[in-house]
């Protein structure tokens, strides 16, 4: 079913009339473990949609009417293995979508941090994409831990609670030990995640939990960027979608490594858009 108020998730899309990079009728589908994301091209641009990923092998009612369909994602074999659509490797699809969303003049080389249920990294040098491993930290671990605390929480409620909360009530801060910071590490960074978890409110815990994910994912991404000698990280994926606290914490951590970090527009739909683009290119329509 489409993502709605009853299945609340920050990953909601709409028509992007300013995005005219796909032939009319092209469709890209990213069948993720949690959500299935769709990029559909029409006369007015590209429309982004998100569905709860079906629990069985049935297809969402999106394949009808698409003249060029590219599919990607962790569950692509289960959901679309016999559909006749063009299958696209997940990291390559995301990298292609990110490059398109960055637009011309934004530079061709970056380390992709793809934040979904887990997180994957890749070095993107022009058209070359090299997988750099990943981490099981991502939207899946964040929401799974949060629901152990309160099973009734929707994903949107978790993100909203983290925005309201103050992680300093549950985290031990560098400032608690070194008020001026130490070396390159400023006083506002974390000395120990959730070490005061019995203190503070539920929102404070959510803020600390979100920051735990942001700082650690960013450290891993920045290390990959340094090793790859590409001092730029571009973030995509559903966990980064409408998640400003995650973005700001990741940016601050990456800066310690001398690495810049940015988040693309509509980050949750990079894979779907990339699948559509690569399928259209394989079809010879681009």
84: CB partners within 8 A, 6+ apart: none
Provide the pLDDT for residue 62.
56
Over residues 38-76, the pLDDT tens digits come to: 998 877 788 888 887 766 655 555 555 555 789 898 887
Over residues 75-131, the pLDDT tens digits come to: 877 766 666 788 889 999 999 999 988 876 666 799 999 999 999 999 999 889 999
Residue with tokens 């049935």: 58
Read off the pLDDT of each residue in 166-178 and give the average, rounded to a whole number: 93
- Please tell me which residue, 258 or 25, carries the higher pLDDT value: 258
DSSP for 61-91 reads TTSTT-SEEEEESTTHHHHHTTS-PEE--HH
Calculate the average pLDDT of the chain. 86
Is the pLDDT at 172 greater than 90? The verdict is: yes
Provide the pLDDT for residue 3.
37
Strand stretches in 174-239, DSSP E: 190-192, 232-236
Read off the pLDDT of each residue in 268-279 and give the average, rounded to a whole number: 93
Q: What angle do CA 262, 266, 270 make, to 5 degrees?
A: 85
The helix or strand, by DSSP H or E, that contains position 241, with its residue range, turns out to be: none
Provide the pLDDT for residue 22.
80
- Please tell me which residue, 124 or 18, carries the higher pLDDT value: 124
Is the pLDDT at 154 greater than 80? The verdict is: yes
Dihedral over alpha carbons 116, 234, 260, 242 (to 10 degrees): -60
């Amino acid at each position: 079913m489409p993502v709605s108020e009853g299945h609340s998730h920050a990953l909601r899309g709409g028509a992007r009339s300013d995005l005219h990079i796909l032939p009319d009728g092209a469709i890209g589908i990213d069948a993720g473990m949690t959500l299935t994301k769709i990029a559909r091209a029409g006369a007015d641009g590209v429309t982004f949609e998100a569905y709860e990923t079906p629990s069985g092998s049935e297809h969402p009612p999106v394949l009808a009417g698409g003249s060029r369909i590219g599919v990607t994602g962790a569950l692509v074999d289960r959901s679309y293995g016999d559909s006749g659509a063009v299958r696209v490797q997940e990291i390559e699809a995301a990298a292609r979508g990110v490059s398109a969303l960055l637009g011309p003049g934004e530079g061709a080389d970056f380390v992709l941090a793809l934040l979904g249920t887990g997180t994957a990294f890749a070095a993107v040098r022009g058209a070359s994409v090299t997988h750099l491993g990943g981490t099981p930290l991502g939207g899946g671990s964040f929401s799974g831990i949060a629901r152990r605390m309160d099973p009734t929480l929707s994903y949107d409620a978790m993100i909203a609670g983290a925005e309201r909360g103050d992680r300093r009530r549950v985290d031990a801060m560098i400032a608690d030990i070194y008020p001026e910071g130490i070396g390159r590490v400023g006083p506002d960074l974390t000395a120990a995640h959730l070490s005061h978890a019995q203190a503070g409110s539920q929102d404070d815990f959510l803020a600390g939990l979100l920051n735990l994910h942001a700082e650690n994912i960013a450290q891993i991404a920045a290390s990959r960027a340094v090793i790859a000698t590409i001092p730029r990280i571009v973030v995509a994926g559903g966990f980064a979608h409408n998640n400003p606290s995650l973005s700001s914490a990741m940016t601050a951590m990456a800066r310690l490594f001398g690495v810049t970090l940015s988040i693309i527009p509509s980050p949750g739909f990079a894979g779907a858009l990339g699948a559509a683009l690569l399928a259209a290119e394989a079809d010879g329509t681009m």
